[in-house]
Structure 1
Amino acid sequence: MTQDQGLTVGNFHRVCIMTFMVGTVIQVSSERGFAIDLSKRNLTQVPKDLPPRTTVLDMSQNSIAELQMADLSSFPALKVLKLSHNRIQRLDLNAFKFNPDLEYLDLSHNHLRNVSCSPVVSFKHLDLSFNDFDALPICREFGNLTQLSFLGLSARKFRQSDLLPTAHLQLRYLLLDLGGYHAKETEAESLQILNTKTLHIVFHSRSLFSVHVNISVNTLGCLQLTNIRLNDDNCHVFTNFLLHLTRGPSLLNFTLNHVETTWKCLVRLFQFLWPQPVEYLNMYNLTIIESIDEEDFTYSDTSLKALKIEHITNRVFIFSQTALYTVFSEMNILMLTISDSPFFHMLCPQVPSTFTFLNFTQNVFTDSVFQNCSTLVRLETLILQKNGLQSLFKVSHMTKTMPSLETLDVSRNSLVSHTHEDMCTWAETIVALNLSSNMLTDSVFRCLPPKVKVLDLRNNRIASIPKDVARLEALQELNVAFNSLADLPACGAFSSLSVLIVDHNSVSHPSADFFQTCHHVTSLRAGDNPFQCTCELREFIRNAGQVSSGVLDGWPEAYTCDHPEGHRGTPLKDFHASPLSCNITLLIVTIGATALVSAAAVAFLCVHLDLPWYLRMVCQWTQTRRRARHVPLEELQRELRFHAFVSYSERDSAWVKSELLPHLEKEGIRICLHERNFVPGKSIVENIISCIEKSYKAIFVLSPHFVQSDWCHYELYFAHHNLFHEGSDNLILILLEPISPNSIPSKYHKLKAFMARRTYLQWPTEKSKHALFWANISAAFNTKLPCVTETDVKT
């Protein structure tokens, strides 16, 4: 039997209990209009301001004491009404006259004493249990509830014909609350229940079992009894009560909730049920009291297939372990579940056992359990979750004597793997192994069943999968989620792998060739990892986008960037990196080409345009301007001192001093010359700038000698930048001697530009034209400067 079959059997009683509820509630929910929850609001009556289209109304756990027709008349579409845990004492079914669609009515846990019968609506679920009825509140009108599936009732006494009006109904679930039942000591009462699939009887929680009622049911499939307190004296009362209930051949599932009993009575109960037709026996919240001694038990032929006991409380502290464990280990049934119990060991059956399914979840078993046990020859599924197992080597040694074992679950223990784990000896039949939530490391891959198909290693301490791991040719599903893996596992050792789960690890740069090397994988779940969205991830994202959405589980929602910070939270499918930034060769070529072009450009500027000279001049200009910022504002706002600053080559100084200065100064034009107006102590650059700033205009005496002078060109450069904003007339060019454009060096492109687009005055060689020449120059000076002293002029 597979693990899935075992789980189905283990929950069989819950299926019996919940089928009616799931069918009703889901149907109502799928068609509902407004669902309103007013539970736990301390209400004393139904509110008047609810929407008329309300279909689901929950007013449980309030203080409502009365229910009238006017309270619900405004909800014609009402289908579900929950009024449990209130204070209602009287019920008039006429209150639901205007609710023709009402299907689900829960009035349990109130103080109802009687019911006024009237034509009722088509209830599917009617719960009147846990109330204060003396007799079963059955009206003959209940016989018209042909769709009734669930019926909950309470009573202190019975009459055989109490349920006669509902005898023809095909109930799926009948709940009888007998918490207030008063037993008759003289004679036993009888109650005939004709048709129901599931019968659930709740007894008083604090009283010893003393019910003397003969209850017979036709077609009963599931029986559930809650609150059973037994001792050695009243044990026979309980078994007599079960006589009629367990006779029917259709009873498959018998469940006991909240049972307190002696060990002797428990064994007698097992012995009573052993020959009965019951196939599945479930016990929840079992408490063993008084003592545990050896009891005789006859393991005759039985219909019982599965025994499930969850949550055992043992109030006997000194007892014979053999007496306790032997009763269970020798049972000739197929499936045994004992979970959430103080059992710290289990005996090996003395003879070859019939067990195919054993579940000992949440006990305190140690590594010694079932060691060298050769009688579990038919065991197919073994579950040892949440115990005290520590050695994976011993677990493997335990299974080697189980020749039929297929499914082993040892999750949630404290298992560790050691270096000698390559000596593990597993049962070769194991195909499903659950080792999740342990303390296993990488060496676990040296201790695995050779034919395992489904392997669960979630929540361990695995950082990598060794490359020299033994080949698991049959492995089809591998779950290594919640570990510390830094990359997706390679498939070299897992040639049949089709399902891989590796989410919640430390995978930052998954292998780009994973989809090529693991071409058999049809489902990969690798989301919720700290992906580093860098160039290394581009190929994986590209490959992930090409595979079908069914292969990459959770794509794209669960796959987001974790680093760098600027991309955190960005889906991988939206992450794009440029080819230039990710291709090293292309990046080097691009940088090299850019560097070469830049170098060529710089070389061209240096050779043809004398770039270093300009940079030097700009640097000096900047430094002078920076120093000028510290000069007081009133000094900066000075008046002009000169009409013109004259720039010329020293080789042309004879003409400037003999011709230019005499004629201009004769006209009252003040001229600034570097020989007489530069201030000693200042740099040349500072003097040039100062003189230009104090002059209204700048006169440049152009000649071949001027062209060859760096300082002349520098003066022209700064005069242009300082005066040009006031108008182009502030620069006066005098061509003393003809200059061929080809003779001007290429680095003086500024001078070339001036001579190409500006008008200049040419010094005539004929004396007859000198008067017109001086008149043109004098005409350019029409500004009157303030009177200054000779000292002012020099400074």
Structure 2
Amino acid sequence: MSVKYSIMNLIWLVTCITGGRSAKCPLNSVCTCWKFEGKLFADCSDRSLSKAPTFSDDVIGINFAKNKFSTIPQNLPTSLLHLEMSRNELLSLNSSSFKRYTLLQNLSVSHNILTEMSLGTLQSNSHLKHLDVSYNNLLTLEVMYNISFDLKESQIQTLILEKLQCTYGVSLDIKQYHVIHLKHTQLLELNLASNRINSLEFGVLNALPKSLRILNIADNKLSFGLYIMEFPVLHNLEILNVSFQSSFHQNNLTGQFFDKCNDTKIATHCTCTNDILLDMVVKENDNGNDTSFPRNWNHNTNTNLAADSFFPFSSVYNYRNYTIYLPRNLRKLYFHDNLYKMSIPKLPIGLNNKLTHIFFQRNIIYEIIEPVTGISQLQYADFSGNFCKNISKSFLQLFSKLEFLNLSNNALAPIFENDKESEMFRNQRLLSVLDVSFNRIVHLPERVLQNNINLRHLNLSFNSLSEFKVNVGHMTKLKTLELSNNQLLELDSETRKSLDRLPLNSINIHLFGNNLKCSCETLDFLQWMQNSKNVHFVKMKDYTCSFGRNATASFKDLDTILQKLEKTCSSYTLIMVLVTTLIIITMTTTISRILYRFRWKLRYMYYVAKEKYKEDVDHLEFRRQNSFRFDAFISYADKDRRYIIELVKTLEKDYCLSLCIHNRDFIPGTEIADNITNAIHCSRRTVCFMTKHFLDSYWCMFELNMARMEAIYSRNGQNVLFLVALESGIMKRLPLQLMDLVNSNSYLDFPSDEERTGDTESAIAFTAKLGETLTSD
């Protein structure tokens, strides 16, 4: 959530900008320096330093992370702007620690063992913009007063105070005096995560600067309280993170479980009384500025009484008439992974907000009774993993701009199953992504998504659907329909027709893990799966179907399955059956022989058609006729790569060739056959290095046959396939159907083992011949 500004990040940024050029620093050989815009940045991280080396005056940033400093070095350039001291052994900081570095803008002392940060430590650093004191869990939250007091007239923008308390112990409250001196700064980001904070004293949020844009109070133990009503005073807050509340932090009774907590530490320098704090806070009110802090606050009463005197709904009866106001510029609210077990009643939220994203996943919100009002700008909502069993059908009625909705991993089956009039998603016409997986849904009404015309991705996986009859004909932008891991036997005819009528050319349907049935009743469905041009079944070869009582069949043999079903389901007379059987046998035999005879041609045509399907035909033809991405595709067996890789490097270097090899140039995540076909199709020539390993490899022979088909059917018979015998006599082992390659075309013999290494005449001549061949038109 928070962006931690560190010298390490800055140095890496400079490294990227300068192309990684580095050198030893001018006055010492320990550190590495980068020059950027005439200024030097020194990286001295992870060098076991306990004393600082000498630096020239033009060094403005130093990274001392992961060293052994116990104090802040005092021999650094006084013009220093950035100092990274994280992960050292710093024990305490005082007024002399940074006194000479008055120009500091970025400072990190995180992940040390600090026990004290005295008042005045940062009093000389008025230019400080980014400060990180996180993960010093012996400092405790009381150090906030000293830090805020020192920074009250600074240029501070980012303040990271994460993990100032040890993990286990009694929960704590943030008091006004902790933050009161930050009020008139221009702070943009404040991180108070992982500090066992239980509550905020009423007035704390009002004491924060109005410039604040990011507030992170995640991983604490926050309880509900009237301080929630104070959030609207943070007018410019854009991101609020209150996630991971009351996290268990399980660690198997090791490590942090035995840390000695310093929770009894008392702020010795704070002498602020409540009257002084009040004067400081309400002074802004006297200047005519907006503040919600009560003017009649009395320090002799407790916080709850003071709050009750300010809010008009202090009686039980009046609690029904309340409105929760959000910061008017809040855009993202993170409220996930909390251990709050609760239901959400009617929740009226003030209209004056810009909230677009809410992250409420993995809580324990078991019920949402009434609609949530006031956040009409919402575009992204994640309520997944909440063990929710009941949501009001009017819950979403005011979220008319919602584009992404995740309700997965709940128990909302009864809600969806009974929504016959599309009440749940009635106003979500802009909804693009809907995820209701893992909800134990048994069936869905046809009209449940009737109003969601802009749906692109619908996820219904991991439910218990035995049929899918939801009307999808109006979803003209549908791209993905996720139905995997249900109990589906088939998709009914109306759904199939609706999918075929959709205007898009490719709809991805996931049906893996269903109880698909191969029978006469589902024959039409299986035929549709095979023949549909508008639907792509993702990983269809992994599908299985029940064939009879105990038998199952894989969709790898879908053709065979269909043939069996067609014969089984026939109702012709005996003669017709015999004739049909004879015809089928004859045709099957003939087709099988034809398919076997032309199997490589058919496979080649399939993959070329698949490529054309993905790309614009005109553009593809233009590219084929005018240029190729590679000069040659090099086909070889992995066990022969040692010689081939060296040869490829030589050819690319000496002959300026662009060669394609599978180890380097194939696209990850793409099917091997697609990669091979695309590589051959995009290469001017194909060179096959023949060895016994090559002939024994399925994919090598696939590459050889695909290259042969490319030469015959796409290159008008041009000689684009070259064979290189890497072993003596290997050409005699070629299959008979490939011997024409040897009989009708010459091939090259690779030098013998003794001649392959070194600059022998044979090796040089072979490389030259191959290079000249591949560079010629």
Q: How high is the TM-score relative to the length of structure 1?
A: 0.48
Q: How high is the TM-score relative to the length of structure 2?
A: 0.49
Larger radius of gyration: 1
